[in-house]
Structure 1
Amino acid sequence: MSTSQCAVYQVKETPEYRDIRFRSYEKLRSEGKSVSIENYQQVYIGRIQPGETPADIKIRLQKQRPKNFKGHSIGCSDVLVITDEGKTTACYINKDGFIIVPEFLTIKSSSDTRLSIDTTGYEIEGKKGTWLAQDYILMNEKKWFLMEHEEYGTRAAYVILSEDILHLIR
């Protein structure tokens, strides 16, 4: 995708998540907890300027919260997922900076294997051959991966995988 965008994820606001909300990364890790998308909800998605840094985005969102920002003021324990120049990075907002958390971008597929932008050799039930993740986008609070056939490339129909559904585009 050529669009530069960012999404903000905040810890779900239910009682069972209170022990991870607003925690520093070090505190979470010392308690044996990880930064998992299952504990978060997307509260914002929007375009960014190419090359905009996590610090730039955080400052911009703190100064003027967009109308479609559904959460509390951006801060510690939030995750910024930035897609810029075809690369997607998840950054945990820590008390004194940002920590890249690649595990945040990894989801479980229906076949119990991990799916990420680096996925290759992926087998899809009912489809011949193996597939690789060609691209990735955040849309409607879900991660969608564009899968390309490893042998036939663009000559075969793409497959789009999300967290819970398999779709075929012809």
Structure 2
Amino acid sequence: MQQKWNQNFDGEPMTDIPQKFLNAGCDVYMVMQLRHDEKILDERFASMRELHRRGKTPDPEHYEVTYYADLPAMWQDAPNNEVLEELFQMFNLSRPQDFEGHSLSVSDVIALKRNGEVSVHYVDSIGFKDLQGFLDKQPERPSVLMNLKEKCDAPECNPTVCRKARDEHEL
């Protein structure tokens, strides 16, 4: 069995590819495309200008990694804009056999890690737009304190436990 980009050597799917990308010790790239989800259908193929008109920005939670690989050595000294153009051409004209996404288009994201520096780029209607901090965004999760407060405010709350939790955490 030929190993695919998103499988471990044992054929099992890899998990947390964005973290693997960020931790890579060599030059790598990652292609991200919008998940198939009715809630974000209006973001598919939308230019950055169109997103801003709607009051939106690209949200990493709406994307899935569709490809990850080492950056070819022949592009080592090329500027980012040339590498991005080469990747765009590659994923439209001579796609890797194990790439299962659609041809690169507006609203897709390409992340590069070169010489330890990470940059993320939105495929726009003309060229690419930098997405500062795109991979830094963490999904919003309620804090432990907010979860405790919600539980204590619930009708089935144990008053003794909640009183202690409120005292300890100043809820």
DSSP-derived class of the 1:57 partner: helix
Does the Cα contact within 8 Å between 2:61 and 2:139 map onto a contact in 1? no
Matched, 1:91 2:114: no
Q: 1:28 aligns with which of 43, 47, 51?
A: 51
How far the C-alpha of 1:7 sits from its partner, in A, is: 0.6
Q: Percent identity?
A: 24
Which structure carries more relative contact order (alpha carbon 8 Å, separation 6+)? 2
- Runs of 4 or more off by more than 6 Å in structure 1? 109-113
Which residue of structure 2 lines up, in the alignment, with residue 43 of structure 1? Answer: 66
Does the Cα contact within 8 Å between 1:82 and 1:88 map onto a contact in 2? yes
Does the Cα contact within 8 Å between 1:36 and 1:103 map onto a contact in 2? no
The 3 A distance-change label for structure 1 pair 46 and 31 is same
Structure number with higher strand proportion:
1
How far the C-alpha of 1:112 sits from its partner, in A, is: 7.7
How far the C-alpha of 1:13 sits from its partner, in A, is: 1.0
Which residue of structure 1 lines up, in the alignment, with residue 133 of structure 2? Answer: 103
How far the C-alpha of 1:110 sits from its partner, in A, is: 8.4
Task: Summarize deviations over 1:112-167 as a string: whole Å, max 9, x none.
Answer: 89xxxxxxxxxxxxxxxxxxxxxxxxxxxxxxxxxxxxxxxxxxxxxxxxxxxxxx
How far the C-alpha of 1:51 sits from its partner, in A, is: 3.7
Q: 1:7 aligns with which of 30, 35, 49?
A: 30
How far the C-alpha of 1:69 sits from its partner, in A, is: 1.4
Matched, 1:79 2:79: no
Q: Which blocks of at least 5 consecutive residues in structure 2 are unaligned?
A: 1-23, 144-171
The TM-score, its normalising length taken from structure 2, stands at 0.60
How far the C-alpha of 1:16 sits from its partner, in A, is: 1.1
CA RMSD of aligned residues (A): 2.1
The 3 A distance-change label for structure 1 pair 89 and 15 is same
Q: Which blocks of at least 5 consecutive residues in structure 1 are unaligned?
A: 114-170
Which residue of structure 2 lines up, in the alignment, with residue 68 of structure 1? Answer: 98
- Find the aligned partners of 1:38 and 1:77 in 2 and give their Cα distance: 14
The 3 A distance-change label for structure 1 pair 38 and 109 is closer
The 3 A distance-change label for structure 1 pair 33 and 47 is same
How far the C-alpha of 1:2 sits from its partner, in A, is: 3.8
Which residue identity does 2:99 align to in structure 1?
A: F
The 3 A distance-change label for structure 1 pair 105 and 90 is same
Matched, 1:19 2:42: yes
Paired residue total: 113
Greater Cα radius of gyration, structure 1 or 2: 2
